[in-house]
């Protein structure tokens, strides 16, 4: 009886650990989010860029984008919330728009085209994947700071 209880306890413990692990797997996925303030064309329609867009995430300004500029931030999890401060013309009034956007789980770098989003285009239009330009020159990787100088192994 005691053994059975112990076994159950252990299995429960492992199950809890697994559950936490799975949860972390879901909520911990990190993304890099890029915002473009660029004109884009979709279905024969083109959207105009506002004069300036300021991007706030969790109350902090992460980017200030004029026409044709790109900004970025990092985000953990799939529910990405931001506030956009849009100024249509120079010297004009700033209008705040609150936005929440689901980020696709399997994409590392997500590009959001803000004018496209604001124009109400469908998701596949304004959301695209960021592919890093291939700069694979394998620069001599710097040794980490700190406690070096010990023999690496027996040889």
Partner 1 sequence: MQENKSFGAKALEFIRNNIVPILFIIICAFCIPLSGFTPSYLLNEIVTRMGRNIFLILCLLIPIMAGMGLNFAMTLGAMAGEIALIFVSDWQIWGIPGVVLAMILQIPFSILLGLLCGSILNRAKGREMITSYIISFFMNGLYQLVVLFMMGSIIPIKHFSVKLPRGYGIRNTVSLLNMRQCLDNLLAVNIKGVKIPVLTFLIIGVLCLFIIWFRKTKLGQDMRAVGQDMEVARAAGINVEHTRLISIVISTVMAGFGMIIYLQNMGNIATYSSHSQIGMFCIAALLVGGASVDKASIGNVFLGVILFHTMFIVAPRAGAAITGDSMIGEYFRVFCSYGVITIALVMYETKKRRSQNRTAQELARAAAEETAKEAAK
Partner 2 sequence: MLEKKDNNFNSPSKLNDELKSTITPAAAPSKLQMREMGPLRAMAASFGLPRLIIASFLLLMFIVAPFVGNDFWTQISNVINRFSWNAILVLAMVPMIHSGCGLNFGLPLGIISGLLGATLSIELGFTGPGSFLAAIAIATPIAIVLGGGYGWLLNRIKGGEMMIATYVGFSSVSFMCMMWLLLPYHSPTMVWGFAGKGLRTTISLEGFYSEVLANFLAIRVGENFKIPTGTLLFIALMAFLMWAFLHTKTGTAMTAVGSNPTFAKAAGVNVDRMRLLSVVISTWLGALGILVYEQGFGFIQLYNAPFYMALPTVSAILIGGASVNKASIANVVIGTFLFQGMVTMTPTVMNSVIHMDMSEVIRVIVSQGMILYALTRKTEGGGR
Contact set with partner 2 (CB under 8 A): 151, 153-155
Q: Which residues pair with 111 in a beta bridge?
A: 34, 128
- Residue nearer to partner 2 on the CB measure, 143 or 154: 154
Q: How far apart are CA 153 and CA 116, in angstroms?
A: 56
Comparing CB distances to partner 1, the nearer of 53 and 127 is: 127
Q: Is 136 in the site for partner 1 (CB under 8 A)?
A: yes
Cα 57 from Cα 40, distance rounded (Å): 24
Q: Which of 15, 76, 96, 97 binds partner 1 (CB under 8 A)?
A: 76
What binding mask, one character per residue, do residues 80-119 give for partner 1 by CB under 8 A, x or -? Answer: ----------------------------x-----------
Q: Is 75 exposed, middle or buried (0-12, 13-18, 19+ CB in 10 A)?
A: buried
């Amino acid at each position: 009886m005691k053994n059975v209880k112990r076994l159950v306890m252990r299995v429960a413990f492992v199950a809890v650990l697994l559950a936490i692990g799975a949860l972390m797997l879901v909520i911990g996925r990190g993304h890099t989010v890029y915002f473009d303030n660029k004109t884009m064309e979709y279905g024969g329609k083109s959207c105009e860029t506002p004069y300036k867009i300021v991007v706030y995430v969790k109350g902090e300004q992460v980017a200030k984008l004029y026409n044709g500029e790109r900004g970025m931030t990092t985000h953990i999890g799939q529910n990405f919330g931001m506030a956009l401060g849009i100024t249509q013309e120079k010297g004009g009034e700033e209008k705040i728009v609150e936005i929440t956007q689901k980020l696709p789980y399997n994409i590392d770098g997500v590009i959001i085209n803000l004018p496209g989003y604001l124009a109400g285009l469908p998701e596949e239009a304004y959301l695209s994947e960021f592919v890093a330009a291939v700069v694979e020159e394998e620069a001599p990787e710097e040794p980490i700071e700190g406690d070096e100088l010990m023999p690496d192994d027996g040889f």
